[in-house]
Amino acid sequence: MDLQKRPDPTVPTPAPASAPAVAKPAELRASDADRDRITDILRDALAEGRLTPEEHSERVEGVLSTKTVGELDQFVRDLPAAHGARATPTYTIAPNRPTVGAIPLEPDDNVVAVFSAAVRKGRWRAGRRIHAYAVFGSVEIDLTEAIFEYQQVVIKAISVFGNVEIRVPENVSLRGSGAGVLGNFEVDTLDSGDPGAPVIYVDGLAVLGNVEAKPKRGKLIADILGRVTDRVSDRLDKSLRKHLDR
């Protein structure tokens, strides 16, 4: 007698469970680092004259609202940097300290907030040396629309139980050297793709307070935009002249 249980041929065999679908790389959710990588490529393309200011602004807005890696790639698909074809360095390295004698000892502008708030923003002229003091108050220095008359700018920021916030265009160079005493002193190092771009140096001290300097995404310095626009116009003029000469 065979005691081994045999399957009933009249009962259908259940299909094996299928493995969960694995998301394709292009379907993965984009991180902030992914968006920063794409905006860096767009910034370099603007400095090289591959994009107009309007195209750059439109693409940056699109990058900030995307959700997947595949959607990010479409904004740089027509740029060489996205395919590893860059022949020149991505950045021009700026010196860590300003040129000796280029910055005066006395400040061109003092921004002071004592139990209050002080703001410098909009279309204003940035001097070579700016001092910012926040004592139980807050100081905001926004250079994204400022007029730069000098290539090197030093901002000395002192925060005591206060907050100093500095925002710069994303196509300048940014350097920092300072300290925090039971506080936070943070400067995001940034290198511009334009060798003629301003270099902003932030130093100082945060005592039980905060000093922060970083680029503002999508904001570009106007004079660099002007030079890029001029280069694009020159190329269009040359193209039109060649067409008319035929």
CB-count burial class (<10 Å; 0-12, 13-18, 19+) for 17? exposed
Q: How far is CA 207 from the centre of its chain?
A: 27
- The pLDDT, as a whole number, for residue 89 is 45
pLDDT digits (tens, 9 = 90+) for 1-47: 455 556 565 656 655 555 455 556 667 787 877 888 888 888 888 88
Choose among 60, 44, 155, 173: nearest CA to 109: 155
Grouping H, G, I as helix, E, B as strand and the rest as coil, residue 33 is helix
- How confident is the model over 75-110, as pLDDT tens digits? 988 888 776 644 444 455 778 888 888 899 999 999
Task: With cut-offs at 50, 70 and 90, classify the pLDDT of residue 223.
Answer: low
Outline where DSSP puts E strands in 161-198: 163-169, 173-181, 184-187
Confidence at residue 219, expressed as pLDDT on a 0 to 100 scale = 77
| pLDDT confidence bin for 237, thresholds 50/70/90 | low
135-165 pLDDT tens trace: 999 999 999 999 998 999 999 999 999 999 9
What is the per-residue pLDDT for 14?
59
Tell me if the pTM is above 0.95.
no
Measured in whole angstroms, how far is the alpha carbon of residue 21 from the centre of its chain? 36
Whether 118 has a pLDDT exceeding 60, the answer reads: yes
List the one residue out of 189, 132, 127, 197 whose CA is nearest residue 165.
Answer: 132
**Is the Cβ–Cβ distance between 156 and 205 less than 8 Å?**
no
pLDDT of residue 146: 93
How would you class 33 by CB atoms within 10 Å of its CB: exposed for 0-12, middle for 13-18, buried for 19 or more? exposed
Average pLDDT over residues 221-225: 56
SS3 for 94?
coil
DSSP state of 116: S
Confidence of residue 120 (pLDDT cuts 50, 70, 90): very high
